[in-house]
Amino acid sequence: MLTFLKTAAPFSLPLLLLVGCTSAPPAPEPEPAQADPAPAPLVQLRTLAQKRGLELGVAVDFKMLANAKYAGLVASEFSAITAENVMKWETLHPQADRFEWFFGDTLADFAGANQQKFRGHTLVWHSQLPQWVKDTVKTRDAMLDLVRTHSAAIADHYKGRVHKWDVVNEVIDDTEGFRKSEFYTLTGTDFIDEAFRAAHGADPDALLYINDYSVEHLGPKSDRLYQLCADLVSRKVPIHGVGLQAHLDLDQMPGMDSFRKNIERFTALGLQVDITELDIRFSGPATPERLAAQAQAYRDVFEVILTTEGTDSVTLWGLDDGHSWIPKWRPGVGNALLLDRKYQPKPAYWAVAEVLGR
Ligand code: XIL
């Protein structure tokens, strides 16, 4: 039997904005208070997860923390948070000579106030990268220097507050070799070494990850990631883990055996494996049949994580279907998370609660 616990909302963003940080830039407007029903009683997944030794995270839409219902659920249901957008290069380092710490600092305070771990996402990524990087950095040495100083400054600023960094994101190409980003074009794979070494130098206690998508199961893209990881480990580059994003499609779920074997080959290198951006989308209406199939898919993923060595962290890429990136990215597709648009638990929520509570 599951114990029903009252959700708590121990934190309020407006309060933090008043007492917390310096030099607040104009914060994005929160969504207006909605006349939605109160959330159904939930079970505090974080408590169930903790009993199983699992870190359960969620990607947070920064502006929504001003909404008490949203913030309360983030705090009561999850034991870790990731910034969905506000710690990406374009926000955190918008100009060559300026860092913008406000958003990340506010999230760090939120995590601290709610006894949550704080995942840093992400130091080096080709996407959401400000134009000044492409406009001003033209040589290998300048790019390595920038990657080094950028990574070190951020890891140093969040030292002791961010416990894991997605140091490099999406460096593997979908069809062959490495992604032809501005980083790769100028430096080959040396920017990867540089970012890990700089982050480790600045915060030797943070765990450092490489993160990517479509690498959850065995296959050519995951093989390329594996080769890179084996190489980094053999050269003693300070890497501690692999993040499998796991933006999954209900109609193209990876085989769970392949998912497990893939995790095992990375852990055999001595690396941790985290699921960093889990969502399971589907197209068409949310019929009872589709929701039940989605619940089973979530159950399967959590079962593999709970029964495989070296993997003990799952992050959902959003709190609820109303704050999910999927419909913006793929119109007509969505319903990918555990709570619906009114913050009500879906069958997938109860499936995760059930598997965690076993
Ligand atoms: C997405 C956010 O969810 C969106 O709001 C934003 O518009 C684009 O980025 N892989 C990642 C995440 O590593 O940072 C991406 O997040 C989703 C894919």
Share of the chain above pLDDT 70, in %: 89
d(CA 248, CA 216): 9
For residue 315, the model assigns a pLDDT of 99
pLDDT of residue 209: 99
pLDDT at position 12 is: 43
Distance 357 CA to ligand 1 centre (A): 30
Neighbours of 289 (CB within 10 A): 8
Q: Is the pLDDT of residue 177 over 80?
A: yes
pLDDT surpasses 60 at 31: no
Is 170 a known active-site residue? yes
Alpha helices in the chain (DSSP H): 13-19, 45-51, 68-77, 89-92, 102-113, 131-136, 140-157, 182-187, 190-202, 220-234, 256-267, 288-306, 326-329, 347-357
The finding on whether 61 has its CB within 6 A of some atom of ligand 1 is no
Helix axes 288-306, 256-267, angle to 10 degrees: 30
The residue-averaged pLDDT of 3-12 equals 36
pLDDT given for residue 281 in this prediction: 98
Confidence of residue 25 (pLDDT cuts 50, 70, 90): low
| Residue that the structure tokens 């599951």 belong to | 2
Q: What are 56-112's pLDDT values in tens digits? A: 999 999 999 999 999 999 999 999 999 999 999 999 999 999 999 999 999 999 999
**What is the rounded average pLDDT of the residues 177-194?**
98
Residue 329 CA, ligand 1 centroid: distance in Å: 9
From the CA of 325, how far away is ligand 1's center (Å)?
7
Residue 148 has which token pair?
A: 């080094």
Residue 29 has a pLDDT of 58
CB of residue 315 inside a 6 A radius of ligand 1 = no
Single out the catalytic residue among 84, 170, 194, 216: 170
Ligand 1 atom 13: residue of nearest CA: 169
Which residues lie closer than 8 Å to 201 by C-beta, 6 or more apart? 152
Q: Is the pLDDT of residue 23 over 80?
A: no
pLDDT of 18 > 60? The answer is no
Residue with CA closest to ligand 1 atom 7: 325
- Largest Cα separation within the chain, whole Å, is 61
Strands 164-169 and 55-60: unpaired
Contact 264, 271 (CB under 8 A): no
pTM (predicted TM-score)? 0.92
Tens of pLDDT, residues 212-268 = 999 999 999 999 999 999 999 999 999 999 999 999 999 999 999 999 999 999 999
Confidence of residue 39 (pLDDT cuts 50, 70, 90): low
CB-based contacts of 255-262 (< 8 A; 24+ apart in sequence): 255/217, 256/300, 256/301, 256/303, 256/304, 258/217, 258/218, 258/219, 259/216, 259/217, 259/301, 259/304, 260/304, 260/308, 261/218, 262/215, 262/216, 262/217, 262/218, 262/222
82 CB near ligand 1 (under 6 Å)? no
Q: How confident is the model at residue 184 (pLDDT cuts 50, 70, 90)?
A: very high
Q: Which residue out of 277, 289, 309, 354 is catalytically annotated? A: 277
Q: Is residue 98 classed exposed, middle or buried when 0-12, 13-18 and 19+ CB atoms within 10 A define those classes? A: exposed
Pocket probe mutation, ligand 1, options 125, 127, 179, max atoms within 8 Å of Cβ: 127
pLDDT tens profile 267-313: 999 999 999 999 999 999 999 999 999 999 999 999 999 999 999 99
Give the pLDDT confidence score for residue 155 in this predicted structure.
99
Q: Is the pLDDT of residue 160 over 70?
A: yes
d(CA 181, CA 186): 9
What are the residues facing 249 on neighbouring strands?
A: 281
- Picking from 101, 223, 113, 107, the residue whose alpha carbon sits closest to that of residue 153 is 101
Q: Is the CB of 84 under 6 A from ligand 1?
A: yes
The residue among 229, 241, 155 whose CA lies nearest residue 192 is 229
For 170, the token pair is 């999406």
Annotated active-site residue 277? The verdict is yes
List for the chain the helix, strand, coil content (%; round to 5): 45, 20, 40
Average model confidence (pLDDT) across the chain: 92
Measured from the CB, is residue 169 less than 6 Å from ligand 1?
A: yes
Q: Which pLDDT belongs to residue 41? A: 85
Residue bearing the CA closest to ligand 1, atom 5: 325
Q: Is the pLDDT of residue 11 over 80?
A: no
6 Cα: distance to centroid of ligand 1 (angstroms): 31
Nearest to 214 by CA among 258, 184, 181, 257: 258
Q: What is the DSSP string of 134-199?
A: HHH--SHHHHHHHHHHHHHHHHHHTTTT--EEEEEES-B-SSSSB---HHHHHHTTHHHHHHHHHH
